[in-house]
A = this chain, B = another copy of it.
Amino acid sequence: MAFYALIMAGGFGTRLWPLSRRDRPKQSLALVGGRTMFEHAVDRIAPVFQPEQIFVVTGAEHVDSLAAQAPELPRENFIVEPQGRGTAPAIGLGAIHLLRQDPEAVMAVLTADHFIVDADRFCQVLAAAAEVAEDGHLVTLGIAPSFPSTGYGYIKQGESLGGAEGFPVYRAERFTEKPTLETALHMVESGEYSWNSGMFIWRVGRILKEFQRQMPEFYVQLAQVETTLGGAGYQPTLNRVWPEVVKQTIDYGVMEGAEDVAVIPVDIGWSDIGSWTSLSEILPTDREGNTIVGPHVGIDTRETVVFGGKRLIATIGLEGMVIVDTEDALLVCPRDREQEVRAIVRQLDSEDRGEYL
């Protein structure tokens, strides 16, 4: 079996502003262990994929930085989108590149902005998922939920489809969007749900058929690009077609309406480092529940994230706060409002203060 990885490494990681910036997006931040998120993403799949089997889809503005972080990957394996159009088009573009490598290819769609503690088990489940995908299933990795998150989507496990390499496999009965806390509590207690990790394993031909069926307009656009692959017409065609592609996520555009979707629930210590609080969950905490990076002095400070650098950060009487200090910008907000960092970024953009973006 020809098994390929497609690492999605576009985006900005707005919610990690002010650390993440347009020219220093989340996947290029060394948040954990002194290595960037992208370096982690490439390194942890080395037992499963040769460098030539690892493809990356990203934006033109990030490709040089990412290539420098993973010099072992062939430069031509970096697939560049003229503009980000959401996960569905990114996966579609990756799929036609892999189809050209091998019409029978199985592809694993992976992310560069998630953290995975148990890389060994992750590699095992990828191999298992590839077997299930060979049979024609659209496989999604489900994450055994460790708490009733209202920030993730959930997948309901249906009938058993047996197992692969020791992992149980279920039919994915339903995808649900981010739930309320009450719903999340019920779902976690039932034991029938896992988090939607955004990682998928399927045959290239199989996902392209789904695009044809569920996103026919995009499929036609993709076919125009596909005919030019490897030729001089590729880049001009992509540049012409891509701005017309409608933005769409793979969940909404394909998965929710697909058949033969399988879910493999697995516990791999996965977290979506989508926010400062989620970062604090994988970094060490002190006795007061604080996550402190950089020089700090505190009085009566609890459950607070202090992500600094060179400067001393002094805190008094804080609980559940987030403080992020960078060279030219500083953020102070309560943990339960950190989602609004996006609004700060929008406001800076609208006020033409792009120097902070």
Contact = CB atoms under 8 A, between A and B. Distances in A.
Contact of A312 (B297, B315, B329): B329
A318 to B, nearest CB: 6
Number of copies: 2
Interface string A331-357: 111100110110110011001010010
B344 A330 contact: no
Interface stretch (A43-51, A124-132, A320-328): A320-328
A316 interface: yes
A25 interface: no
A254 interface: no
A348 B340 CA distance: 34
A34 interface: no
Nearest to A324: B314
A313 interface: yes
A176 B314 CA distance: 34
A299 B351 CA distance: 14
Contacts of A297: 344, 347-348, 351, 353
19 contacts: A18-B312, A297-B347, A299-B347, A300-B337, A312-B328, A313-B330, A313-B332, A314-B329, A314-B344, A315-B331, A315-B333, A316-B331, A316-B337, A316-B344, A318-B332, A318-B333, A323-B332, A330-B330, A332-B332
